Structures are given as structure tokens and as C-alpha cells.
Amino acid sequence: MLKTSVYKLPSSWEAREILREKGQFWTPDWIAGPMTEYVLAEKGGLLFDPAVGTGAFFRAAKAIASEKGLAISFAGMEIDPTTLSQALEHGLTEEDIASVKIADFVLQPPQTKFYAIVANPPYIRHHRLAPEKKAQLKRLGIQIIKKPLDGRAGLHVYFLIRALSLLEENGRLAFIMPADTCEGKFAPDLWTWITANFALDAVITFSPEASPFPNIDTNPLIFFIRKAPPKNQFLWVKCHHPGTNSLMNWVRSGFEDASAHDLFVTTRDLKEGLSTGFSRGPLLNYNTKYVLGDFARVMRGVATGANNFFFMTGEKARELGIPDKYFVKAIGRTRDIPGDEITHETVETLERKGRPTLLLSLKGDDVEVFPDPIKRYLQEGERLGLPYRPLIKQRRPWYKMEVRVPPPFLFAYLGRRNSRFIRNIAMVVPLTGFLCVYPKNSDEQHLDQIWKILNHPETIANLSKIGKSYGDGAIKVEPRLLERLPIPDHVIQQFGSPVQLRLFEQRESYTPMENYEIDTEGG
């Protein structure tokens, strides 16, 4: 058994924020060991870590080198000198860290190439990056992969690109990264470049209970990549228990020994992996005839750009004196809907609890045509600077709200509790915490059948195959991907034949399909 260090999160919010800003989460030994083993490739030599932190990979390398009698040396980078100095309290010597440069790896990279690069880069998501830094990173993307990556790529993605560009011929790289590396909008461009220029040896994933970073809201993956001609296949691993030596044994056996009961190892086609996403299991396991998009369309809920302003309680609406006809009934938070139905009573209960249920849904009319209370309220919005907010400033005029026909079903797509489909009996309009599901055929009997099919446990289980996963098992699903949700054949047979369901009838009952691709994190 390898020595296992259990990572403890600081309990105060401030301390966690500081760690988040710098991306400081340390790699446990049972993960650092196999990653380092892969890049050292039985040879030893110079190991480069672009984000040394307190030195998890250097320590792992020293253990491997002493066990196998290999000669190794270290080079690295770290932006935070205080953190690096803590490496000395974690079993490293001054000599071990003598060649670690205090600088920004992405923007001030070393001028040499390496045979062995290993990292747990800082997971810093795009909205925490300053605009100038984002612009510099974008230029870096163009320089290395010859096209700009979508702006939602975080710093860790640029760490990976930069590190790959510093790999010597036949050199090896092992990175542990959050799943968004394979699931973000930028992912197809990123992975097309990687798999056209490098050999992807393996992708290692973890079930929620085996997460290397328990309690941290992220789903990490490990990539083993070589600077060698691309291959058509790669190994895909799912690790089911934390802290065992199964991964290390598997890497040491040259990926031969996959007998450990807690590792699932399979060979996958690169093409299939690219289209399914490397964080998800292979497509082959859920070959179903139908997907949700065969009988329903999906859109995200309304993004207001300023919920505090546009979304309010009945009491506030009355205080402001804004007439009812300017509002639509709306639902904001998944937590507000405890069950799988929204009835008129649900909405009334929320009102009584003081939760907002009214969305100010103004058309693009000139301010002058509105009654005085609305004019006054819009002036207040201007005073608060709302017209200059990111999403709002794209609207003409700024207060014109997106329109959604109330969907028969909502999908609650992000929450600690299970994701679920909700029957929208009260016909409210959802905000971005939900997706709208519009069946192509909307007669009552059909809606009942669809609801049963959608909430069937086996349909719900398939969500993990299309969604973005978070460390604790929560799943976020984009509208286009929800349309690819596989519906098990026998569930369809149980609740109505495809003919009865008129699955392929392309009746365009619902038209407002604009703005599909707006970042669903807005709101």
C-alpha cells in the first residue's frame, strides 16, 4: 500500500478563496506516484514540474528513484515563493528545489525542452482571470495551436498547451486536470490539436468516491501523453477506490496488469473518444435507438443578466406599483422546487415564503410608452449601471427580456440533489437554473408518456454519459447535449411504442429558439 495523504480543505471561506485564486490544491501520494512513474519511464533523468507547489511530484520521483536506483534531477516553476519554501517542510532539500524558478510558467516559460513533464496545474477558471491575462492567453493559443480557443478555457488549459509545446521528441507528459478540459466549449479544438500532434496513451478518470480531491467541487482526470506520432486508440481507466496502489501497479506493468478489482481499464477508439468526450465512458455501452432529441427540443431558461433587478416577489411588484400584465410567472432556483411537479400551489407557497416568482418581461418598446412606475424602475436600473453589465449590454433596449413559451417540462440540471425532469403544470418560465424541454407533440396523453420515460431511473442514469460532472456526482447538462440523452429501448416499449409517441413527427409547436449558445453560466 502506498502512503496516502488525505487532503484537508481549510474550513474558512477566506482561506479557501485564497487557495482558489492561486489554484493551490496538493496532489495526494497515491496519484503523484503513478503520474511520475509514467513520465520517468524507467529512465530517470530531469523531471520538470511547471507548478511545483509544495513538491508532491518531486517527492514521488525521489521515492521511485531510490527504489529503482535511478539518477534524477529536478527543474520547475512556481509563482508563489512562500508555497515553494514550504516544500522544505515536506521532505525536499534546498538542492531539490534549487532549479525551481519563481515565475509565471505560461507567460515566462523556460527556453529548453524536456523529456519528462508532470503537473497538477492551477485550476483557475476563466472568470477569475483578469482581462489582460485572458487576452495574453488567447494570443498564446493562436501561437501554439494556430487558432484561438473559446474564452471559457481556464489557466490550466494553457498550462497543458504550453507544457506540450515544451516536450522533447519521445518525451512524456502527465497532467491531472479538471473534467472541463474535455467538456468545455473549447475542448474539441484543444483535443483535435493534441490528438493530431501527440500520442494519447491514457486517460484516467475517478468515480466520485475515489476522487483524489475529496470535498473539492471538481472532477479530475489524468492524461498520459507522449510526443510521438498519433495513435488510433487509447486506454481509458476508471478508478473506483482512493488510496490504493492499483494505479501504480498498472503503470509499472507497462499498462498490462489491469487485474485490480478497483480499476476498470478499456481500449477505446480515438474517434469515438473525441466525439463522446474523454471524461465519459465509451459510447458502446449505451447503444440505444432513440435519444431525447428525437421527440423533444431543449433550450436553456431565461438569462436575465440581473436576477435581483428583473426577478422579484409579488410584494415588491405591488410596492413598485407595476401592473401584473408586465410580468410572467417564473422560477429561479432548483432548490425552490423540491419535487418533480410545479403546480399553482407550488408557486403560491413560494410567494408566501417571500421567494421571487415574477419576471419583469418587457418588450422592446420605448420607455415613454410604459406607465410611470416602470419608468421610475428603469431609471433606477440605469442608476445601478445595469445597461453596461455583460449580458444586458447586448440587448436593444437593455430592459428587453428574452421570451420563452412556458415549457411542459423543466430539467433541473445542476444541484447537489439528483438531476430530474419536472412537470410544469403551472406553466411558469424558468431562469437559467433549468433547461426548457419542449416535446414536439404536446397532446396530454403524450406528455404523460414522456414524463414517465424521462424520469425512469435508467433514463436518469444515462445523464452521466452526456453531462459535465462535478466532484460530488452533481451533473450539469448543456441543452444540445440533453438532446443526445439516450433513452433505453425497453423504457420506450414499456410506456408507449414509438409509433404511438409519434417520435419523429416534426411538428414545430414551439418556435422561440434563439440564443441557443449563450453561456449557461450567465443569469
Residues near ligand SAM, by CB under 6 A: 22-27, 49-53, 56-57, 77-80, 83, 104-106, 120, 122
101 vs 240, which CB is nearer to ligand SAM?
A: 101
Nearest to 149 by CA among 86, 106, 191, 205: 191
For 400, residues 6+ apart whose C-beta sits below 8 A from its C-beta are 362, 363, 364
22 vs 333, which CB is nearer to ligand SAM?
A: 22
For 232, residues 6+ apart whose C-beta sits below 8 A from its C-beta are 269, 270, 271
CB 243 within 8 A of CB 272: no
In whole angstroms, the minimum distance from the beta carbon of 54 to ligand SAM comes to 6
Nearest to 355 by CA among 307, 389, 414, 321: 307
In whole angstroms, the minimum distance from the beta carbon of 150 to ligand SAM comes to 20
In whole angstroms, the minimum distance from the beta carbon of 390 to ligand SAM comes to 25
Angle between helices 131-145 and 187-197 (to 10 degrees): 40
Report the DSSP pairing between strands 199-206 and 233-239: parallel
80 vs 257, which CB is nearer to ligand SAM?
A: 80
Distance CA 9, CA 20 (A): 11
Distance CA 364, CA 467 (A): 35
122 vs 408, which CB is nearer to ligand SAM?
A: 122
Nearest to 57 by CA among 92, 99, 88, 7: 92
Grid coordinates representing 343? 403546480
Distance CA 242, CA 249 (A): 14
51 vs 436, which CB is nearer to ligand SAM?
A: 51
CB 282 within 8 A of CB 272: yes
In whole angstroms, the minimum distance from the beta carbon of 483 to ligand SAM comes to 35
CB 360 within 8 A of CB 310: yes
In whole angstroms, the minimum distance from the beta carbon of 152 to ligand SAM comes to 18
In whole angstroms, the minimum distance from the beta carbon of 294 to ligand SAM comes to 42
Q: Evaluate the CA torsion angle 312, 315, 318, 320 in order and state its sign.
A: negative
Residue 412 β-bridge partners: 420, 434
Report the DSSP pairing between strands 311-312 and 358-360: antiparallel
57 vs 434, which CB is nearer to ligand SAM?
A: 57
Angle at Cα 224 formed by Cα 182 and Cα 273, nearest 5°? Answer: 40
Distance CA 339, CA 383 (A): 39
Distance CA 202, CA 234 (A): 6
In whole angstroms, the minimum distance from the beta carbon of 123 to ligand SAM comes to 7
In whole angstroms, the minimum distance from the beta carbon of 109 to ligand SAM comes to 9
112 vs 253, which CB is nearer to ligand SAM?
A: 112
In whole angstroms, the minimum distance from the beta carbon of 16 to ligand SAM comes to 14
In whole angstroms, the minimum distance from the beta carbon of 392 to ligand SAM comes to 32
In whole angstroms, the minimum distance from the beta carbon of 153 to ligand SAM comes to 14
24 vs 197, which CB is nearer to ligand SAM?
A: 24
Closest residue to ligand SAM, judged by C-beta, is 53
4 vs 259, which CB is nearer to ligand SAM?
A: 4
77 vs 248, which CB is nearer to ligand SAM?
A: 77
40 vs 466, which CB is nearer to ligand SAM?
A: 40
87 vs 401, which CB is nearer to ligand SAM?
A: 87
In whole angstroms, the minimum distance from the beta carbon of 183 to ligand SAM comes to 19
Burial of 341 per CB tally in 10 Å (0-12, 13-18, 19+): middle
18 vs 384, which CB is nearer to ligand SAM?
A: 18
Distance CA 425, CA 442 (A): 13
In whole angstroms, the minimum distance from the beta carbon of 84 to ligand SAM comes to 8
Grid coordinates representing 423? 412537470
Distance CA 323, CA 321 (A): 6
CB 181 within 8 A of CB 187: yes
Distance CA 366, CA 389 (A): 20
CB 200 within 8 A of CB 214: no
Distances (CA, A) of 243 to 29, 31, 75, 155, 263: 8, 8, 27, 28, 12
Grid coordinates representing 405? 413559451
